[in-house]
A = this chain, B = another copy of it.
Amino acid sequence: MTRFTEYDCSGGCPVEAALEQIGGKWKGVTLFHLLDGVKRFNELQRDVGGVTQRMLTKQLRELEAAGLIHREVYPVVPPKVEYSLTEKGESLRPILMALKDWGEEHVLATA
């Protein structure tokens, strides 16, 4: 059995670090919906459901700062901004899918 006690985690636990990047209230869901492909702001807001503009903007900026998503602005009128996953963000796909499956089975299933 692998022992994790050696993982001191003091100030640099990989699990904690990972959760920090997807830990916001809407970050996980946002990333999840971006697995779908490129989406615009309003599309995301619809998909995520219940998130306010302010929060979605904030979370998107943080995800962008973390290098998980890419923000492409088209200088047209009306404004058009597209969000997509970076490679780093795409690498979260198996984790996000696992979280979805786990959530379905162990949380929502009321079982």
Give chain A's interface residues, CB within 8 Å of chain B.
1-5, 7-23, 25-26, 28-29, 32-33, 35-37, 47-50, 88, 91-92, 94-96, 98-104, 106-108
Contacts and interface: CB of A to CB of B under 8 A. Distances in A.
Contact of A95 (B14, B25, B99, B107): B99
B3 A15 contact: no
Q: How many copies does the complex hold?
A: 2
A1 B95 contact: no
B36 A108 contact: no
B5 A47 contact: yes
A36 B25 CA distance: 28
Nearest to A104: B14
Contacts of A11: 49-50
